[in-house]
Amino acid sequence: MKTFVVLMGAPGAGKGTQAKKLEASLGLPQVATGDLFRANLKNETELGKLARTYMDKGELVPDEVTVAMVRDRLSQPDCVHGAILDGFPRTTAQAKALDELLNEFSAKIAIVPFIDVSQDVLVERLAKRAEIEGRADDNEETIRVRMEVYQSETAPLLAYYDEKGLLVKINGEQSIHQVTEDLTEVVQEVM
């Protein structure tokens, strides 16, 4: 049976870094929605063109389009045993759509690790990352707005997955190495 890991955490929690490390240790591909969007836009796929029509108007891309991109990606040969989902789902509606999609694939979510980091540490990390990468749009005010959006839209997923008995908290304020060790340990217990 295909098995999926839904990696959760606020922007700056280290999801991308940890997903790459899990990918290497588990042999499951990292499926990041940001990468999916960029690939579909760059390759001008039908889904990419559809997404662009919303993005060009400054609107959010509807869940159906995002879910269709995820469905397409999860049907690729490298996902035959499952994947590590990074950045999807972002809302409870997307989580329910993912449940339906995984039923189609006769698959399940094995675990939902949540990399828990306090807001002050997240703001500090994102500000440092913005400075290193030269991202002028990531100032403290913008970062705090992103945190508010995360809290209102994505944080309810924690309760959704906790009720299903899938959520496991990982202390994301430890060293990268220690977070990797803790994360790998909890994931391998259920795989």
pLDDT in tens, 49-64: 999 998 888 887 899 9
**Residue of 90, 108, 144, 169 with catalytic role:** 90
Handedness of CA 86, 92, 94, 95 (dihedral sign): positive
Residue with tokens 């789902």: 89
Residue 75's pLDDT is 94
The residue annotated as part of the active site, out of 2, 129, 144, 169, is: 129
In angstroms, the CA 38 to CA 32 distance is 10
127-153 pLDDT, tens digit each: 888 788 776 666 778 888 888 888 888
Q: What is the pLDDT of residue 137?
A: 63
Selecting among 15, 21, 73, 125, the annotated active-site residue is: 15
pLDDT at 155: 82
Residue 73 annotated as catalytic: no
Whether 71 is a known active-site residue: answer no
List the catalytic residue out of 2, 20, 146, 169: 146
The pLDDT value given to residue 57: 85
Q: Distances from the Cα of 162 to the Cαs of 112, 129, 174, in angstroms? A: 9, 30, 23
pLDDT at 1: 66
The parts of the chain modelled with pLDDT lower than 50 are none
Q: Is 135 a catalytic residue?
A: yes
- All structural domains of the chain, each given as residue ranges with its CATH number in brackets, are 2-185 (3.40.50.300)
CB 69 within 8 A of CB 63: no
